Chain A
Amino acid sequence: MSTVSLLVRDPITAFALVVVLSLFFFAATADWVAPYSYRDADLWRRLQPPSREHPLGTDHLGRDILSRIIYGTRPTLLVIAIAVVVAIVTGTLIGLFSGYFGGKVDLVVSRVIDALMSFPAILIALAIVAVWGSGLEKVAIAIGIAESSVFARLARGLVLVEKEQLYVLASRALGASSSRIIFRHILPNIAGPLIVQATFTAAAAILWEAALSFLGLGAQPPTPSWGLMLYEAKDYMRTAPHAIVFPGLAIFITVLSFNILGDALRDLLDPRFRRLMR
């Protein structure tokens, strides 16, 4: 049974899949689909409530909120892409090597990862952004670094199990080099859980970006990042709540969808579950 058909069976998961796919869709077609440009400012039209011309209202600079949310799928995807790639690559590499080779290296690395994980990660991300300067790409990398420890731990745990497996022992006996074993044999086998975690990390990355933007350290104007829209709208919360409710909803629905997807993928990976589905 193909993964996709299993996913689509359940209406809720199907919905989540649609949301995630539409992220890509809107990001690609924004120029045609969005009714206005995301940077058309008209100060005299600011903070208008939802109306015919502006279904979701206008923001503090008179820009159409619906259009900005549509264009906002681009920075969202950018953040997800960079953060997840950074987190997976650094985390998995560290976890793989640490777990496979064991010994003193593993001891030290585990300690370091434990130390960093037992600490409110937001402070680390904050410090990185404050040092480096704000900007969407930098923020995404900082998020990736902050989330990499999750992958490190995951990869390490998986490797610890895998390296006792028969096929690994056999490869070693045949004289295969360590890196060959790690990359050609172990990695494909643990890819599943990693991908599941990637979905969750994508969700987390969006929330991170919003949080950092809220502290003023996120994307730069006029980027229509949803987190930045929240930050810019929060001062007017009382008189123009629509400006903060809608971007927040966009984030909420997107993050929820990623989480639902991640859950569904995890269930699919679990052989017991697949058996149940037959």
Chain B
Amino acid sequence: MAVRREFIAAAAIILVIILVAAYLATRPEEVAPAATPTTPAQTTPTGATATPTTPVGTPTTPAVKHVEIDTLRISQRADLSSIDVQVATDAPTLSVFSHVYETLFKIEFDEQGRASFKPWLVESYKQVNETVWEFKLRAGVKFHDGSPLTARDVKASFERGPKVGGLPRILLGPVKEVQVVDDLTFRLILKYPFAPLIAHLSHPSTAIIPAKVAELFPDKPIDDIKYIIGTGPYRFVEFVKGERTVLEAFEGYWGPKPTVKRIIWYPVPDDSTRVSYLEAGRADVITHVPPHLVKSLKDKGFQIVQIPSTRVIYIGINVERIPDARVRQALNYAVDKNAIVQVVLEGAGSVATAPISPAVFGYTKLDPYPYDPERARRLIREAGWEGKELVFITPQGRYLRDREIADAIKNYLEAIGLKVRIEVMEWAAYINRVTTQKDFDLFLLGWSTVTLDADYGLYSLFRTGAPFNRMLYSNKEVDAYLDMARETANPALRQQYYALAQQLIWKDAPWIFLHYEDIIVAMKPGLVKVEIQPIERWILTYAMLEVRG
């Protein structure tokens, strides 16, 4: 019958389509072997510039030229969170602003990834006495609107910053007063001796904005992009929220001329989509590459730069609810941090050897708690905590595999005889709860020591009463060391104090010390001189394209 034939035909077609679709859908992405070996992927130590090195002994290759770039497109995972550099706190926004604004000092990294602070907008400086520093600005620096940089702008920036933004308030907290001596000279009067001052003056939150903008918006964020005026190598040209941010090279820049004319930033929150951007040629650089896609990108010929960042991921322990140090230590013994790094993060991290990352001044290498569930169980029993329930709160999508890390840790803790209840929250609600309430035992959080000075990492988190000491941890001895390290100018002495403080903190275990996150950036082949810094900042100003002659 005609009806039956049609029916069978239609059903057959549908079946075939479903089978083909199923096949295509369940086939994991295949990777074709790279046809020609291109610039080798680098796993360079901290703060390195991704420059391809020609291996010794290669046959003579045709001459290699570096050309300037007209438009460079980079895709990050977040959009600008604010158009006011003194208000923004997140790395993606500050990366963009690092091209537009400048700070008094600039961070530079050597081959070992150690940071040093070079005078930048400042030409020279001297410490007059314990609490007074004098600075001389470089002459001839112009803002994007043509006006010259003067000490007045510094004063206005430093007075406005703490009023509108949390980061400037913390970073410039020790500054009591800014005195303008003359057009290019100013003094900082501090409330107390503060050794990390120079480090703080290299953070984008202390970037210099024009005095007239500061005067227009003395206590609230700027509300139009036309007020984004800095001294940096790029002007802020366009901002379409959710779509792109466009920067263009500033003709009147005082420093070395940029080699990239235009930079376009695309926010693409979805990891997979962002990777496709690179593959499709829509972006030349992408950040936050998911670790499980690294191999396939490498095989396709893209460059991968993977370096440890200054961000440490930890599980904060509410010390008031868990006052017994044995229990906290048990938590540390119970978790196989190496497994988490290797398996959950797929190698995109390294087990923490201190509460701060190795790139930070003041870091001391300590031995991580080994994975010893037997010992953990014993400690729990001794402390009488067997069978107790812990409330563990975690955000999701904020840190690499955060929710999964929490899942994995829950399994480890339950294996040593504890009960764990996980509460996953979206970020806004989470940060609110972590800040204002203390009705939980464990919380997952990250901290990036963006000043590269231990004071910012240790003082803010571990000193009694410090603003970010959410563990409610208090150790008078640690307090003493941190206070002294802050005031002494002698670096060797500071290093010692920090070493002592970290040893104590390690033993007290107010955290489950987990790992440092890696930064993974992928770029198209041939792109060189892109600077990737462990503080999650990418500098594209001097990027160039390598062309074989």
| A interface residues with partner B (beta carbon < 8 Å) | 39, 41, 43-44, 46, 49, 60-61, 130, 133-134, 216-217, 220-222, 232, 235-242, 245
Decide if A235 touches B290 in the complex (CB within 8 Å): yes
- 0/1 string, B200-236, CB within 8 A of A gives 1: 0000000000000000000000000000000000000
A221 and B407: CB pair below 8 A?
yes
**Which residues of chain B are within 8 angstroms of A241 by Cβ–Cβ distance?**
25-28
Known: A61-B408, A241-B25. A236 touches B292 (CB 8 A): yes
- In order of increasing CB-CB distance, the 4 nearest A-B pairs are A43-B343, A238-B29, A41-B411, A221-B407
- Contact: B408 with A239, CB < 8 Å? no
Which residue of B has the minimal Cβ distance to A62?
Answer: B343
Distance of A249 from chain B, by nearest CB (Å)? 9
A134-B424, A221-B424, A245-B22 given; name 13 further pairs at CB < 8 Å: A41-B411, A43-B339, A43-B340, A43-B343, A44-B343, A46-B343, A134-B425, A220-B422, A237-B272, A238-B29, A238-B292, A239-B28, A245-B26
Q: Are A61 and B293 in contact (CB-based, < 8 A)?
A: no
Bound CA–CA A41/B414 (angstroms): 12
Instruction: Report the Cα distance A141→B411, complex, angstroms.
Output: 29
The CA of A88 and the CA of B26, in the complex, are separated in Å by: 39
CB-nearest residue of chain A relative to B397? A216
| Contacting residues of chain B (417-432) with chain A, CB-CB under 8 angstroms | 422-426, 429
B51 interfacial contact with A, CB 8 Å: no
Given contacts A237-B272, A238-B28, A242-B26, contact A217 B290 (CB under 8 A): no
The reply to whether A240 and B28 contact each other, CB–CB distance below 8 Å, is yes
In angstroms, how far is the closest chain A Cβ from the Cβ of B395? 10
List, in ascending order, chain A residues with CB within 8 A of B343's CB.
43-44, 46
B487 contacts the other chain (CB 8 A): no
A10 CA to B70 CA, complexed, in Å:
67
Can you name 22 A-B pairs with beta carbons within 8 Å? Answer: A39-B411, A41-B407, A41-B408, A43-B340, A43-B343, A43-B344, A60-B404, A61-B407, A133-B423, A216-B397, A217-B426, A220-B422, A221-B407, A221-B410, A221-B422, A238-B292, A238-B296, A239-B28, A239-B293, A241-B28, A242-B26, A245-B22
For B429, the chain A residues whose CB sits under 8 A away are 130, 133
Query: For residue A41, which residue of chain B has the nearest CB?
Result: B411
Q: Which residues of B contact A220 (CB under 8 A)?
A: 422-424
8 Å CB interface, B238-284 against A: 271-272
B95 interface residue per 8 A CB criterion: no
B403 in the interface, Cβ–Cβ < 8 Å? Answer: yes
Number of A-B contacts (CB under 8 A): 68
Shortest distance between the CB of B425 and any CB in chain A (Å)? 7
CA distance A191 to B335 in the complex (A): 56
Given A130-B426, A134-B425, A220-B423: A238 and B408 interface contact (C-beta under 8 Å): no
Cβ < 8 Å to A, chain B residues 328-346: 339-340, 343-344
**Could you tell me the distance in whole angstroms from the C-beta of B108 to the nearest C-beta in chain A?**
35
Give the complex CA separation of A126 and B293 in angstroms.
31
How far, in Å, is A94 (CB) from chain B's closest CB?
30
Tell me the nearest residue of chain B to A134, going by C-beta: B424
Given contacts A41-B407, A221-B403, contact A49 B425 (CB under 8 A): no
- Closest-by-CB residue of A relative to B292 is A239
Interface residue? B81 (CB, 8 A): no
Q: Tell me whether A235 and B423 are in contact (CB under 8 A).
A: no
Check: B396 CB closer than 8 A to any chain A CB. Answer: yes
Query: Is there an interface contact between B28 and A222, defined as CB atoms closer than 8 Å?
Result: no
Residue of A whose beta carbon sits closest to that of B394: A221
In the complex, what distance in Å separates the CA atom of A237 from the CA atom of B296? 14
Task: Decide: A238 and B293 in contact? CB cutoff 8 A.
Answer: yes
A85 to B292, CA, bound (A): 43
- Return B343 CB to nearest CB of chain A, in Å: 4
Question: Once bound together, how far apart are the Cα atoms of A217 and B339, in whole Å?
Answer: 28
How distant is A196 from chain B, measured CB to nearest CB, in Å? 27
Which of A43, A133, A232, A245 is close to B408, meaning CB atoms less than 8 Å apart?
A43
B274 to chain A, nearest CB (A): 12
When distances are taken between beta carbons in the complex, the residues of chain B under 8 Å from A61 are: 404, 407-408, 411
Measured CA separation A230–B26 after assembly (Å): 14
Q: Are B28 and A49 in contact (CB under 8 A)?
A: yes
CA distance A238 to B29 in the complex (A): 6
Bitwise interface map of B from 389 to 413 toward A, beta carbon under 8 Å scored 1, else 0: 0000000110000011011101100
